Structure 1
Amino acid sequence: MKPQPSQSSPRRPKKPHPVRPERDVLPPASHFATCPRGLEPLLEAELIAAGAQIVRALPAGVLFMADAAAEMRANLTSRIATRILRKVGFTRYQKEEHIYRAALELPWPSWFGVDKTIAVKVGAQNASLKSLNFITLKIKDAICDRFREETRERPSVDTEAPDVPVYAFFTPDAVTFYLDTSGAPLFKRGFKTEASAASIKENLAAGLLMLSGWEPGTPLLDPMCGAGTILIEAADMALNRAPGRARHFAFEHYRDFDAALWKRIKAEARALEKPLRKLPIFGSDLDRWVVDKARNNLAAAGYADVIELKVSDALELTPPAPVGTLVTNPPYGERLGEAEDLADWYPQLGDWLKKGFSGWDAWIISGDPLLPKLMGLKASRRIPLFNGMIETRFLHYKLIAGSMRPLKPAPSAG
């Protein structure tokens, strides 16, 4: 027997509230894609390739217009995006009670069934809200109350792995409601089984490779590969494999999901893949346990025999080819006491690159503004990026003979 609606369940006001969300609701085909800050131009290019029309780039994301096919294709093929959010509502507000009413007015049951689990997340920028947790609860209540009104049932909440993640973003006087079409963040490709303590996210790793100008077929080395994230992203790019090929997406839970269209889009992506083969991609790490993690991840991605891995101190490696590209995420002293040890190590790193990798392009990401300067190499480019909340620089060193800065001569005895 279906549960009866509670006698105390709030009802929508008989008279429309002065601020009605219908006035400002954006079309369902309007979207916002999030990404690591600094990678917005790369994301724009990917969205255009997926069939979207760019509206505007913002810090850490891109506004765009897309139909169902472009939304699916962006989720499946974007290496840079973190989430693809579909806008479903926008309204101005003056008081917190307006937010509940605005969320209640949205036709949630027309977008997904009561059998789907939900979770609400809230973000804000300069919004004068007393409690984001309270607002989150009120939006959840509004969604459930709307379902009760129409179906006499309410969806269950699953904060860990919801079928339908709902987002609300607040500015000082407005709120935008989104349905997340991705589900789990897109940097979770669906096959990685292991992570190392200093792993970077897959979308940032892909961004580093794109920014470096590395071309598939050119030898690539990550001498401090950790769990193999950069290596796997490089292999995916070299073989033109869709990063989302092994995972599920939230849009598959929505009422407007077109299974036949989705099947066709996945088939199109598979048809563009290149045959599996040995690639000139090389990785190493000093820690055997970490290298074992990388091997497990490579095997899960189907690259066990594609990429060459070894256990080695980075400073003992020799170049795997006369020329190539080195991209790596070395330690930069996030824990107390590490910086002093690294201050002795970075000059050795610079000496190793200068002496052994003439003809190579080296790219290093660092969250410490001082340590890379100890390498004694002059960076030709410094690209600002964010690794999560850490502000970093992606540094390019064109390694040619004599690129080490000469040391000042000691004063003579006379």
Structure 2
Amino acid sequence: MTDFFAPCPRGLETVLFNDLVEMGGQNVRATEGGVHFSGDWALCYRVNLENRVASRVLWRVKEGWYRTEQDIYKAVFDLQWQRWFNVTHTIRVNTTAIRCALKSLEFITLLVKDAVCDRFRAHCDERPSVDTLTPDVRIHVFLEDEKLMLYLDTSGDPLFKRGVRQNTNIAPIRENLAAGILRLSGWTPGTPLLDPMCGSGTFLIEAVQMSLNIQPGIARSFAFEKLLNFDKPVWQAMKQAAIAAQVPPKPLEIYGSDMYGDAMKTAWRNLSDAGLSDCVELNQANILEISAPAEHGIMVANLPYGERMGELDELAELYPKLGDTLKRKFGGWTAYLFTADKAILKLMRLSPSKRTPLFNGAIECRLLEYKIVSGSNRPAK
């Protein structure tokens, strides 16, 4: 049994917790910003391949205590790094700390790198090179009070990089956050879905992949493939089974629109590059002018930032009009609006039935649920 930690966007810990329990994880425990779990290496491969919410999967190789920089150096040097990767692999060290009494995280990062290199020198009289951009191996150091945890990254590039969306617009939403919002909305494949501010198409692509059983990691590689304990036959069998389980592309009740032509072109290119353009109906339209594409369904929208729509007063003008549009045209639908702007709560003229705190990186946001009752805005007699 091996110990892992999967970070995720803050606010999605419960979604990830339930995923890992369902996937067979042991000792599953949620904490702020991620979930601890235990399992075999096949589970690690599977979480990297299949999970839509996790940001990474980190393998915990050391847990202990420290008081000085020398304690950290010794803890790192004592590990048999040469058992896990070769001296020819490039490395990068990332350090994160909470309530750490030591003065410089930069110095700790340098110290850990030196300790790893010194261990290799003691073993084979050579040292690995550092590559801060595209390393073969990422080493994560986490300090909390006087507790030290060391991890090897099994993912490589963060898991929101699916290898699918190559083109982006201003302020795109990350894929794992978009997938988490879809999960929180209760949307399931087969239910009509509309993103009226689709931008580069992130919600649309995630929904299509879920509908066609396309695993999020099927088009990319992972850092665990470079580790010395990599079980290639197990991984190849897992990938082949995932590919065999995919459903061929077909038209789906998934709809996207945006008022900007450039955004529509970007969304279409991303869908087309992924071979999914036939699955989604795209239209260039203002959110205030569209109609519901079905009698009922789920609307999701990453509401615009100031630089995209203009100044904040323009957004303030948009919100009441958006509320009116939902009441007039989307009876029977449930809308999920993702925003960092608290002004919407007063200006929409609709009361959200649920407010879920979520973080887009460091930005605190809310996912607002609006259940639109049919005929809730009857014309006056």
Q: TM-score range by the shorter chain?
A: over 0.9
Pairing 1:114–2:121 present = no
Contact 1:366–1:372 (8 Å) recurs in 2: no
Task: Give the conservation status (yes or no) of the 8 Å contact 2:339–2:367.
Answer: yes
CA contact (8 A) 2:45 2:235 kept: yes
Q: Which residue of 2 aligns with 1:211?
A: 184
Task: Provide the C-alpha distance between the structure 2 equivalents of 1:334 and 1:62, rounded to a whole number of angstroms.
Answer: 34
Report deviation, 1:267.
1.8
2:226 to 253, 256, 264: 253
CA distance in 1, matches of 2:45, 2:331: 44
Aligned 8 A contact 1:354 1:400 in 2: yes
Larger radius of gyration: 1
Report whether the alignment pairs 1:279 with 2:252: yes
Whole-Å Cα distance in 1 between the matches of residues 168 and 152 of structure 2?
A: 29
- Give a deviation string over 1:296-334, Cα, whole Å, max 9, x none: 111122211111112111111111112111011112547
Aligned residues: 380
Q: Secondary structure at the match of 1:314?
A: coil
Structure 1 residues 133 and 352, CA gap change in structure 2 (3 angstroms): same
1:378 is displaced (CA, Å) by 1.2
Task: Specify the SS of the correspondent of 1:56.
Answer: strand
In 1: Cα distance, 2:220 partner to 2:161 partner: 8
SS of residue matched to 2:77: helix
Q: Deviations over 1:164-195 (max 9, x none)?
A: 00000001112100000000000000121111
Do the aligned residues in 2 keep the contact of 1:219 with 1:280 (CA within 8 Å)? Answer: yes
Give the distance between the partners of 1:338 and 1:151, measured in 2 at CA.
60
Q: How does 1:228-307 map to 2 (within 5 A)?
A: 228-307=201-280
SS at match of 1:167: strand
Structure 1 residue 290: Cα displacement = 1.3
Q: TM-score normalized by structure 2?
A: 0.96
Alignment of 1:27-106 (within 5 A): 29-106=2-79
CA contact (8 A) 2:13 2:30 kept: yes
Match of 1:201 among 174, 194, 202: 174
State the match for 1:394 in structure 2: 367
TM value normalised by structure 1: 0.89
User: 1:334, 1:314 → 2: CA distance?
Assistant: 18
Structure 1: runs of 5 or more not aligned: 1-26, 408-414
Decide whether aligned partners of structure 1 residues 129 and 336 sit closer, same or farther in structure 2, where only a CA change above 3 A counts.
Answer: farther
Q: Is the 8 A contact 2:17 2:29 kept in 1?
A: no
- Give deviations 1:187-221, integer Å, cap 9, x for gaps: 00012111111211100100111111112111110
Q: Deviations over 1:20-43 (max 9, x none)?
A: xxxxxxx7x100000011111111
Q: Work out the CA distance in 2 between the residues paired with 1:267 and 1:314.
A: 41
Q: Distance in 1 between matches of 2:256 and 2:345?
A: 21
CA distance in 1, matches of 2:77, 2:216: 36
The alpha-carbon deviation at position 337 of structure 1 amounts to: 7.1
Root-mean-square deviation (CA, aligned residues, Å) is: 1.8
Distance (Å, rounded) in 1 between the aligned partners of 2:22 and 2:243: 16
Aligned to 1:3: none
| Aligned-partner residue type, residue 286 of structure 1 | M
Distance of aligned partners of 1:406 and 1:153 in 2 relative to their CA distance in 1, 3 Å threshold: farther
Q: Secondary structure at the match of 2:57?
A: strand
1:281-307 deviation per Cα after TM superposition (whole angstroms, max 9, x unaligned)? 010111111111111111122211111
Letter in 2 for 1:51: G
* Rounded Cα–Cα distance in structure 2 between residues aligned with 1:250 and 1:234: 26
Tell me which amino acid in the other structure corresponds to 1:370: A
Residue type at the aligned position of 1:159: T
Letter of the 1:44 counterpart: F
Aligned counterpart, 2:303: 330
Map of 1:318 onto structure 2: 291
Question: Identity over the aligned pairs, expressed in percent?
Answer: 50
Give the Cα–Cα distance (whole angstroms) in 1 for the partners of residues 308 and 266 of structure 2. Answer: 22
Counterpart position of 2:347: 374
Which of 317, 320, 328 is the matching residue for 1:347? Answer: 320
